């Protein structure tokens, strides 16, 4: 689901008032669409020319076509409330207490006694408090689909789709708390980068109190990071691992030093193909690089 959202959902829109309200509860961890919604989305994209250049050798080529399509029926790509597939919420919701039920005495006499037996008492059940989701992921969950749609970027839903692709599938709470869930390490890198864009000290951005200070800067951070990486170094084939590594390298290109940026280019040379390597954006004082050796 996460790879599909990253690949095909960059042109979706969020304009219906009810959908906007519902989307404020949807994050990169809880997003999923129904089969009916996918059928409508893909039918419209294909009708509008999505496959005009197929088969696509590289993902950046498919992205270029997707982002420049003239959509024939824009409403078909509008997200509706019933398009969302139910997933487990990030936090485990509270369960209210169930009061006890007193015993009921028997009624009737003689021959009617059998039909009037009482009921035993039923003990109450105490309330169960809400259990927050993983603390280090909470700031990502706070920046909802609705927040992204309202961030002012030309391709705001594409930014959200990129984040979903990098985070990977996580439809259950168990999958999110697992120590093997790759988004945990990704979240640390994102928190540092978002704090810088938000203009606050990393200590101020620390969880949990820093979440409300920085989460709204997440879309701008992603946009700047992928601009720094440039499409030349984008992953060629969509996969959760590839998309996660792409985002990590994009963050390094955005905020890393010269050596870190050069290391990113070196390990991503396989994605350049016949293009020239991009200029480094992470330092205004560094002289531009030449062409990648043997390429372009």
| pLDDT value at 175 more than 60 | yes
**Residue 227 · residue 219 · CB < 8 Å:** no
| pLDDT value at 288 more than 80 | no
Q: Mean pLDDT for the chain?
A: 89
Q: State the pLDDT confidence band at 217, using cuts at 50, 70 and 90.
A: very high
- Average pLDDT of span 209-221: 95
Q: Is 169 buried (19+), middle (13-18) or exposed (0-12) by CB count in 10 A?
A: middle
pLDDT tens profile 188-207: 999 999 999 999 998 889 99
Q: State the pLDDT confidence band at 10, using cuts at 50, 70 and 90.
A: very high
pLDDT tens profile 219-228: 999 999 999 9
| pLDDT value at 280 more than 70 | no
Cα separation of 258 and 249, whole Å?
13
| pLDDT value at 291 more than 50 | no
What pLDDT is attached to residue 216? 96
Most confident of 6-15, 49-58, 179-188, 287-296: 6-15
What pLDDT is attached to residue 238? 92
Cα separation of 165 and 157, whole Å?
12
Cα separation of 271 and 278, whole Å?
12
Instruction: Fill in the DSSP letter of residue 122.
Output: B
Q: State the pLDDT confidence band at 104, using cuts at 50, 70 and 90.
A: confident
What pLDDT is attached to residue 277? 53
| pLDDT value at 113 more than 60 | no
Q: Over pLDDT 70: what percentage of the chain?
A: 89
What pLDDT is attached to residue 293? 33
Contacts of 86 (CB under 8 A, 6+ apart): 32
| pLDDT value at 283 more than 90 | no
Count of CB atoms within 10 A of residue 6's CB? 25
| pLDDT value at 25 more than 90 | yes
- Average pLDDT of span 94-113: 74
Cα separation of 41 and 45, whole Å?
6
SS3 125: strand
């Amino acid at each position: 689901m996460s790879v599909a959202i990253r690949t095909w959902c960059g042109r979706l829109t969020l304009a219906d008032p009810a959908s906007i309200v519902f989307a404020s509860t949807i994050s990169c961890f809880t997003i999923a669409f129904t089969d009916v919604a996918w059928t409508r989305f893909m039918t419209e994209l294909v009708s509008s020319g999505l496959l005009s250049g197929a088969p696509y050798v590289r993902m950046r080529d498919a992205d270029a076509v997707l982002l420049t399509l003239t959509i024939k029926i824009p409403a078909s790509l509008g997200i509706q409330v019933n398009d969302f597939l139910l997933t487990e919420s990030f936090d485990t919701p509270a369960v209210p207490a169930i009061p006890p039920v007193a015993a009921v005495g028997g009624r009737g006499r003689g021959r009617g006694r059998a039909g009037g037996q009482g009921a035993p008492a039923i003990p109450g059940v105490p309330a169960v408090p809400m259990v927050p989701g993983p603390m280090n992921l909470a700031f990502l969950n706070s920046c909802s689909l609705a927040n992204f749609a309202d961030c002012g970027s030309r391709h705001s839903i594409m930014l959200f789709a990129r984040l979903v692709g990098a985070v990977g599938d996580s439809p259950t709470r168990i999958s999110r708390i697992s120590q093997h869930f790759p988004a945990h390490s990704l979240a640390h890198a994102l928190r540092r980068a978002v704090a810088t864009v938000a203009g606050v000290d990393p200590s101020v951005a620390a969880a949990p109190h820093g979440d409300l200070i920085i989460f709204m800067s997440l879309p701008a951070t992603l946009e700047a990071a992928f601009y720094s990486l440039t499409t030349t170094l984008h992953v060629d084939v969509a996969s959760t691992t590839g998309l996660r590594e792409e985002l990590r390298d994009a963050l390094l290109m955005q905020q890393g030093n010269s050596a870190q940026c050069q290391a990113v280019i070196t390990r991503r040379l396989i994605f350049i193909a016949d293009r020239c390597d991009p200029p480094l954006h992470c330092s205004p004082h560094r002289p531009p690089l030449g062409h990648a050796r043997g390429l372009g």
